[in-house]
Chains A and B, each alone.
Chain A
Amino acid sequence: MSTHGRTLPRRLKRESSSEQVAEHIRRLIMSGELVKGERLRQEDLAEELGVSRIPVREAIIALDREGWLDFEANRGAHVAGLAADDIGDHYELRGLVFGLLARRVVETATDEDVKVLSALAAEMKRTADLVEFAVTNERMIRQIIRVAASPRLTAALLVTPAIMHHDFYEFVPTGRKNQEAGIAAFLRAVKQRSADAADTAMRTMLRRQGQAVLAAFTASGVVGGQ
């Protein structure tokens, strides 16, 4: 798997094929290539992606649980629709989950945890490469999830997933600035042991990312055209 002509670092967890199919479909919906009510053609998707029907079916079940598709046994899978409001709502909801994770981090982080988080934030600041920034940011998020140690909140992130991965910061011009500022505010709050401030930092960061994503999609002409 390569992105922008380079191979991703080995430490990046390889996703299962059903996760890759799910990400592909989410993106088709987000970008407006699949529109509300449209029926998903499982055979075509399987052929297009070079996978069997099984991961396509598993991806559809996952996306039904996440609310992107409506899947019924006799009717097949239909796109649940996407409007400008949905993008804002998606990031707002992701922010609510991250806010709770941030609270748990403040409650449980040891000095050593804070050091690790700070080192990752410094690494994010240093890199000039946007893909490397995205990869380091993912490590940061995994670290936050590890320290928060809440399987229930982690599961809620599966339902409010990141919509793009390694090319997010190329697609969303102000994305990096938002992310750096948000993470910095979060870390300050963790060091001050303020759960409220950590919560607010995450919610604000994700709300801003939602606005930035919406602006990027609007600029590319796929959402909010009417």
Chain B
Amino acid sequence: MSRAAVRPAPHAPLPGETIADAVARFVRTEIFEGRLVGGQRLPQDDIAESVGVSRIPVREAIIALEREGWVRVERHRGAFINALDEQAVLDRFALYGRFYGFAARRALERMSGEQRETLRRLALDLARPSGAKPFERANGAYMSTLVHFAGSARLRGVLRSTAQIVPGNFFVTVPKSIAIQRAGISALQAALDADDAPAAERICADMEHRHALEVIAVMHARHARAATAQA
């Protein structure tokens, strides 16, 4: 963590972010990059200093990070980092798989004919070849529309806390996931067109599991690099 203090990092809040959001984003990156490790107590003062804020937004960030599974809070002892190991990644993506499967099922129950058409169009945008950034935009449009058409306030709430495990643009960091997502959404859209909710749930679970395996591979590579850099 001492290294974090000397990194030239612009930790200012992005548009729409609160200071606490920016702190949470900083902590997620530190964990993903292996600079904060499982079991370690969250160094709240160092983090406040690195980001250039007071302790209050750090405390607020911890509330969000606890719900996202990055830290656990032990009363009177502080916050401790949860290990970002293979099991953690598998569990995280298993949750995603289930929540998106739930979105697909509810969308099938609740969306109008016009909405079905909108989703089909967005799926076609994803099928076109493109780089990581346009792909992320098209994918974001499809997924958020699917969640919107599911019409579930509770699902939106749960997804709010199922924050991404990979900081930044997922498809830049995990390039092999583009092919997985493209094939997965194509299969998902086919299941939706066929009104087949169980198939849609299986496809979502399977797609997210494949992402998990790619993320694990990327993490291993990064941690090996971080270990070399520190040696």
Q: Residues of A with Cβ closer than 8 Å to B?
A: 16, 58, 61-62, 64-68, 73, 80-83, 85-86, 89-90, 92-93, 96-97, 99-100, 104, 150-156, 158-160
Write the chain B residue with the least CB distance to A62.
Answer: B63
- Contact indicator B69/A151 (Cβ below 8 Å): yes
- Nearest A-chain residue to B151, judged by Cβ: A85
Contact B155 A93 (CB under 8 A): yes
Judge whether B91 and A100 touch: CB under 8 Å.
yes
CB–CB A158/B67 < 8 A: yes
**A151 / chain B contacts, CB cutoff of 8 Å:** 69, 72, 82-83, 88
Indicate if the CB atoms of A90 and B20 lie closer than 8 Å.
Answer: no
Q: In the complex, what residue of chain A is closest to B38 when comparing beta carbons? A: A151
Minimal Cβ-Cβ distance residue in B for A57: B60
Which residues of B pack against A, CB within 8 Å?
18, 20, 59-60, 63-64, 66-69, 72, 75, 82-83, 87-88, 91-92, 94-95, 98-99, 102, 106, 151-158, 160-162
User: For the complex, would chain B's binding face be called helix, strand, loop or mixed by DSSP majority?
Assistant: helix
Would you call A100 and B161 a contact (CB within 8 A)? no
Query: Among A58, A62, A150, which residue has its beta carbon within 8 angstroms of that of B67?
Result: A62
Interface residues of chain A: helix, strand, loop or mixed (majority):
helix
With A92-B102, A97-B95 already in contact, the answer to whether A156 and B155 are too (CB < 8 A) is no
The answer to whether residues A100 and B63 also contact, given A16-B75, A85-B152, A159-B161 and a CB cut-off of 8 A, is: no
B99 surroundings in chain A (CB, below 8 A): 93, 96
Complex contact A65–B154 (CB within 8 A)? no
Please give me the residue from chain B that is nearest to A85 by CB atom: B152
**Interfacial chain A residues near B161, Cβ < 8 Å:** 65-67, 155-156, 158-159
| Contact status A156-B162, CB under 8 Å | yes
Question: Which of B59, B88, B153 meets A67, CB within 8 Å?
Answer: B153
